[in-house]
Chain A
Amino acid sequence: MAAESERVDRSSHSMDKSITLPPNEIFRNLENAKRFAIDIGGSLTKLAYYSTVQHKVAKVRSFDHTAKDTEDDPLYEISMQEEILARLHFIKFENAYIETCLDFIKDHLVNTDTKVIKATGGGAHKFKDLIEKKLKLRVDKEDEMTCLIKGCNFVLRNIPHEAFVYVKHADSEFRFQNTHPDIFPYLLINIGSGVSIIKVESEDTFERVGGSSIGGGTFWGLGALLTKTKRFDELLQLASKGQHTSVDMLVKDIYGGSYGSLGLTGDLIASSFGKSATADKEFSKEDMAKSLLHMISNDIGQLACLYARLHNLTRVYFGGFFIRGHPVTMHTITYSINFFTKGEVQALFLRHEGYLGTIGAFLKGAEEDNPNQYSWGENYAGSSGLMSTSPDLNPMQRARSGTFDMLEMDRLERQLVNLPLLQDPSSYVPDTVDLSEDALAREYWLYCFEEALDGVVKRAVASQPDLPEAAERAEKFRHKYLHKLQTLRHQPFAYGSLTVRSLLDTREHCLNEFNFPDPYSKIKQRENDMALKYFQKAVKSLEELSWEQRQFALVRGLLAGNVFDWGAKAVSDVLESDPEFGFEQAKRQLEERPWLVDAYDQWLERLKGPPHKCALFFVDNSGIDIILGVFPFVRELLCRGTEVVLASNSSPALNDVTNNELQILTERIAAMDSVIRSAVKEDRLTLVQSGSSSPCLDLSRLDKVLAGVVRERHTDLVIIEGMGRAIHTNYYAMLSCESLKMAVIKNSWLADRLGGKLFSVVFKYEVPPDKKHTTLDHVPVTPS
């Protein structure tokens, strides 16, 4: 059954009022909170609310340049504006703190007109009166299973790397799974005091197909009888130390070895507790607990397999208090599933499993807001991440008891979908290196991000010269990000697979948290200004070259432009010490051909063929990169008759050009250049938002509008530029059309890894196998 076991122990009822909450860090944004939901389980309470966060965003606004265009006027003005962001808060704490927490909420709940709190979970009725009295909200009970499924759908849809496979003896015990574009159908096995097996076919269609009474309650109840140990956690501890072979009758105890003809090995359990009937000796608590754990895990695993087979399902998620964060049970369940399905089905677990009920209850209460119409993103700054409760894995476990766990989800302005040009969306992995599996790489990058922190803090302060408290905020940011890095060093699985992308994104989230929405805004502005002045000159010199020379110059220009990247430490050092470091100098820094990865000849051959229909270009940095590198390249494509879609970030990340900025830049370039002007006018050059605010690129989470444009225009070329988008991510991404991935490696460690050196060039031109003939069979035409 779904119900979490109710602990009747008096101790869990007594309210601990002595605790003092660090209020602003736990129940954040209560002022505007509305739509409360609560899920009270056997020992933990999970509270959810929706709130709005006012935070600063950087906006750029074009000046009126038609009147007069003086040399000294900046291109556009930057302003900080307040923006309202919708955020979901989920907080998990021990039931003992419930009264204190309710008091705190009551005191801080000011601007709310909420009348109702949605409630679910076995303990909801027990605390009903208390909640109604304290919060003056009417408790409205929601069906537990419905909440669970709603919550499960929500996390699977919105949180990349939500699901994982548990591998006990591997370097990284948590193997995170790609989010499949279609999350249905799946089987959810909820192991509470009993077991419920639920088949979920769509958002609103699910069915309890079966269950079992042998569940967490059986382990706990029977375990308590056998070992005189009261607490569930202690029972698991005992089990992890025991030897089941002294209690269980194994195949070899009966056969003397294996049962070969059936392929049953001697170590398999033939009869659980089979030895405790045939000998009147004493059994240790540990051994009995272990035997019991095996018995129950195997039984549940077996039933799960039988149901998975009956319903022909391969995605099987496990949840409930029996599983929740316990490596011991995740391991035994995984083992059992592997055994019974011979590896055909994998046991999947969820990072936010404990929150499913409260998320679902919340969603039930928020149906009128249509939360499922939006995409949501996990806010790494405000979320605790997955903690291991295993003392072996997490020496801080003791300290953790009594702490609060948080999850925050930000509503994204744009709905995010897959790039339609991914060859196989279900196997697409954005990240090139999984740092949770690669200890050396992890060490390096964590160190690298720690080293770079001073610079980031400095720039953050510099970006807000008019705000005196900026320095203080920047220090808070430093503290928070440093803490995140430390957490990740111990628990690299906290937010899913650890990657360079997740480290960068976490930094952006932390910067936003402390109202540094765009530390690079002024730098970007200055560089854009400067680069624009050279645009015409650059185009003119390119036009003087022969066709073939020009193609090469365009690629080199693009690559040289990409050297200007504040995200890379090697470059930001040079830029900071030598502001004159110019475009020409950058070109000289570039590696001579043959490059580290060099498909230029194939690309040139291709250019001799018919033009592409439409190119989708994921751009990178502001300034020289976009203006002197990308635009001339785009101009050439347009001249060839290829339509171009420029995809840029929706919000700032490092010195990446934002969609907002790019619009202004494009206007300005169009004013100078007739090719760009007519392309914009005729809609052959289009700007779209990527939907991202990361220096990296996840092609499975892109703006829905972008996806629509890509489809409408029959895009047949994707260009990805820069280290973050083409190397840290998407280096191995397989697309169903031609693609160019270009970057200069501005990190000596990475260069080393890839077998190159600093400023090595990656120029990858790929044609999917089924499209190859079209390029090979073309009749070369001599370009003008």
Chain B
Amino acid sequence: MATKPSSFVAEQTHCCEFKTTLFLSLPIFLNLPINLSKHLLFPVPAFPWFGMDIGGTLVKLVYFEPKDITAEEEQEEVENLKSIRHYLTSNVAYGDTGIRDVHLELKNLTMCGRKGNLHFIRFPTQDMLGFIQMGRDKNFSSLHTTLCATGGGAYKFEDDFRTIANLELQKLDELDCLIQGLLYVDSVGFNGHPKCYFFENPSDPESENCVKRACCLDNPFPMLLVNIGSGVSVLAVYSKDNYKRVTGTSLGGGTFLGLCCLLTGCETFEEALEMAAKGDSSNVDKLVKDIYGGDYERFGLQGSAVASSFGHMMSKEKRVSISKEDLARATLVTITNNIGSIARMCAVNEKIERVVFVGNFLRINTVSTKLLAYAMDFWSKGQLKALFLEHEGYFGAVGAFLELLRTTDDL
């Protein structure tokens, strides 16, 4: 089914309101005109520079922290803008649910002639209204900054932004943003390292030989881009601005977490992954050997291949004796293998050999990344290669942020 790409829940639990403590120390922003850069002759947008991707489960925010502020600027910088900067850059958690992924920070970027660092922040979409209310309380609209937003939430919350906080969103297509963001981040590298990686010896995901290896996405086209958020979108990307959405599936990160919550009573993605890491899916899934006693040679199926996900759970005896960890693992494996299978078929149909997996489902999820690497390699007999990116879920937000700069170019 259709899919909403891009976001994935990370830390969610209670139906709590957005805590205004998130940006508690943010001062009232004051009006700030578009500043003519000292370094360049064309206008750049007013600070603060944000890009936002409002997904089904998670809001992703990138924030550019200028590091080349001159003394003159420092003086001109209104007090509250300064405190935004300090607040965002000196904390790693905001309120109960906002988190800055410090390890992803991109340092010493030059954007629109300005040097600075790019910060990556996320919080649950269910706290979105709280965020907007905070924007109103803090009179965010007085900053006259353009708020570039993508993801479904840019549409869903547009009215709320306008009526509650008097803010106009610049809505951007999420797939455009995803690709632009990905290509940009790839082009700048990861603080001097390549930001792309793959697995060596993927055919043996359990062994120590299966290790992460950095690589470059030189000459990235064509690529099959699989974005695993709440749902999954599969894109065939032929150039910077030539791509198509090949298909999507509703069996994505949201399904993993949703089912895990129902089956195990867990509450967060981290918790679900932690359980999955300890579980054994072969207690839940029916394998080929469970049916045929060994390999199904007639069709070259290994005995260890999964014949029926959750197939053992048809039996009452096995249902009552199963552990939560096993269930969590089986859910993770089922969803991951299915995505791998669809991705592989799309790659073959589109005649693309490089498959790039992104999205927050892959965050801290080595079980899935290794499994995807294995699935691509095994079923294609080594023809397909799975690639991953460190900034998994943030490309949409980066794309929106880039659009902010571009938009101002056009002024």
Distance in Å: Cβ of A46 to nearest Cβ of chain B: 19
Q: Mark A220-252, 1 if CB is under 8 A from B, else 0.
A: 111011100010000000000000000111010
Residue B259, interface by CB 8 Å: yes
Residue A272, interface by CB 8 Å: yes
B4 touches A251 (CB 8 A): yes
Candidates A224, A253, A265; contact of B56 at CB < 8 Å: A253
Contacts of B184 in A (CB 8 A): none
CA of A264 to CA of B2, assembled, Å: 6
B249 touches A249 (CB 8 A): no
Known A-B contacts A261-B173, A270-B56, A273-B259; A306 and B342 likewise in contact (beta carbons under 8 Å): yes
Residue B231, interface by CB 8 Å: yes
A1 touches B231 (CB 8 A): no
CA of A274 to CA of B9, assembled, Å: 10
Known A-B contacts A213-B334, A214-B338; A268 and B286 likewise in contact (beta carbons under 8 Å): no
Candidates A196, A212, A273; contact of B255 at CB < 8 Å: A273
Distance in Å: Cβ of B256 to nearest Cβ of chain A: 8
CA of A224 to CA of B317, assembled, Å: 12
Known A-B contacts A271-B258, A276-B261; A213 and B291 likewise in contact (beta carbons under 8 Å): no
Residue A309, interface by CB 8 Å: yes
Contacts of B3 in A (CB 8 A): 264, 270-271
CA of A122 to CA of B312, assembled, Å: 14
Distance in Å: Cβ of B283 to nearest Cβ of chain A: 12
Known A-B contacts A249-B4, A307-B345; A5 and B314 likewise in contact (beta carbons under 8 Å): yes
Known A-B contacts A264-B2, A339-B1; A274 and B254 likewise in contact (beta carbons under 8 Å): yes
Distance in Å: Cβ of B31 to nearest Cβ of chain A: 30
B316 touches A218 (CB 8 A): no
Distance in Å: Cβ of B254 to nearest Cβ of chain A: 3
CA of A253 to CA of B231, assembled, Å: 12
Contacts of A340 in B (CB 8 A): 247
Contacts of B158 in A (CB 8 A): 256
Residue B406, interface by CB 8 Å: no
Give the contacts of B207-242 with A (CB-CB under 8 A).
229-231
CA of A213 to CA of B335, assembled, Å: 10
Residue B288, interface by CB 8 Å: yes
Interface segment among A163-171, A295-303, A518-526, A731-739: the answer is: A295-303
Q: How many A-B residue pairs have CB under 8 A?
A: 248
CA of A117 to CA of B396, assembled, Å: 62
Give the contacts of B308-323 with A (CB-CB under 8 A).
308-319
Residue A269, interface by CB 8 Å: yes
Candidates B1, B157, B306, B315; contact of A270 at CB < 8 Å: B1
Candidates B157, B258, B261, B312; contact of A272 at CB < 8 Å: B258
Distance in Å: Cβ of B143 to nearest Cβ of chain A: 25
Residue A66, interface by CB 8 Å: no
CB-nearest residue of chain A to B1: A269
CB-nearest residue of chain B to A266: B2
Contacts of B349 in A (CB 8 A): 306, 309-310
CA of A249 to CA of B311, assembled, Å: 25
Residue A279, interface by CB 8 Å: yes
A310 touches B316 (CB 8 A): no
CA of A253 to CA of B57, assembled, Å: 10
Contacts of B4 in A (CB 8 A): 249, 251, 254-255, 259, 270-271
Q: Mark B170-213, 1 if CB is under 8 A from A, else 0.
A: 00010100000000000000000000000000000000000000
Residue A63, interface by CB 8 Å: no
A217 touches B308 (CB 8 A): yes
A3 touches B255 (CB 8 A): no
A212 touches B286 (CB 8 A): no
Candidates A222, A273, A288, A306; contact of B345 at CB < 8 Å: A306
Contacts of A213 in B (CB 8 A): 285, 305-309, 311, 334, 337
A303 touches B309 (CB 8 A): no
Distance in Å: Cβ of B375 to nearest Cβ of chain A: 12
Residue B393, interface by CB 8 Å: no
A271 touches B250 (CB 8 A): yes
Residue B257, interface by CB 8 Å: yes
CA of A563 to CA of B261, assembled, Å: 75
Contacts of A221 in B (CB 8 A): 284, 308-314, 319
CB-nearest residue of chain A to B341: A212
Contacts of B124 in A (CB 8 A): 278
B250 touches A270 (CB 8 A): yes
Known A-B contacts A217-B310, A273-B262; A278 and B12 likewise in contact (beta carbons under 8 Å): yes
Residue A779, interface by CB 8 Å: no
Interface segment among B67-75, B83-91, B92-100, B148-156: the answer is: B148-156
CB-nearest residue of chain B to A219: B310
A218 touches B298 (CB 8 A): no
A259 touches B298 (CB 8 A): no
A280 touches B15 (CB 8 A): yes
B255 touches A143 (CB 8 A): no
Q: Which of B15, B153, B341 has the most CB of A within 10 A?
A: B341
Contacts of B311 in A (CB 8 A): 5, 193-194, 213, 217-218, 221
Contacts of A214 in B (CB 8 A): 251, 309, 334, 338
A271 touches B312 (CB 8 A): no
Residue B252, interface by CB 8 Å: yes
CA of A271 to CA of B315, assembled, Å: 28
Contacts of B319 in A (CB 8 A): 221, 224-225
B9 touches A278 (CB 8 A): yes
Distance in Å: Cβ of A42 to nearest Cβ of chain B: 8
Residue A215, interface by CB 8 Å: yes
CA of A328 to CA of B299, assembled, Å: 31
CA of A310 to CA of B246, assembled, Å: 14
CB-nearest residue of chain B to A253: B56
Known A-B contacts A8-B314, A274-B255; A269 and B155 likewise in contact (beta carbons under 8 Å): no
Contacts of B267 in A (CB 8 A): 280
Residue B346, interface by CB 8 Å: yes
CA of A7 to CA of B345, assembled, Å: 32
Known A-B contacts A193-B307, A269-B1; A254 and B230 likewise in contact (beta carbons under 8 Å): yes
Please list 11 pairs of residues, one from A and one from B, whose beta carbons are closer than 8 Å in the complex, sorted by A's number: A193-B311, A213-B285, A213-B307, A215-B309, A221-B313, A224-B316, A270-B1, A270-B231, A273-B259, A278-B57, A309-B349
B residues with a Cβ closer than 8 A to A are 1-4, 9, 12, 14-15, 55-57, 124, 126, 151-153, 155-158, 173, 175, 229-231, 245, 247, 249-255, 257-263, 267, 284-286, 288, 291-292, 296, 298-299, 301, 305-319, 327, 334, 337-338, 341-342, 345-346, 348-349
A residues with a Cβ closer than 8 A to B are 1, 3, 5-9, 122, 143, 145-146, 192-194, 196, 208, 210, 212-218, 220-222, 224-226, 230, 247-249, 251, 253-257, 259, 261-262, 264-265, 268-280, 283, 288, 294-295, 298-299, 302-303, 306-307, 309-310, 339-340
User: Which 7 A-B pairs have CB atoms at the shortest separation, nearest pair first?
Assistant: A221-B313, A273-B258, A271-B254, A254-B152, A217-B308, A256-B156, A274-B254
- Extra 6 A-B pairs, beta carbons < 8 Å, given A194-B309, A212-B341, A264-B3: A213-B308, A213-B311, A221-B313, A277-B260, A278-B124, A306-B247
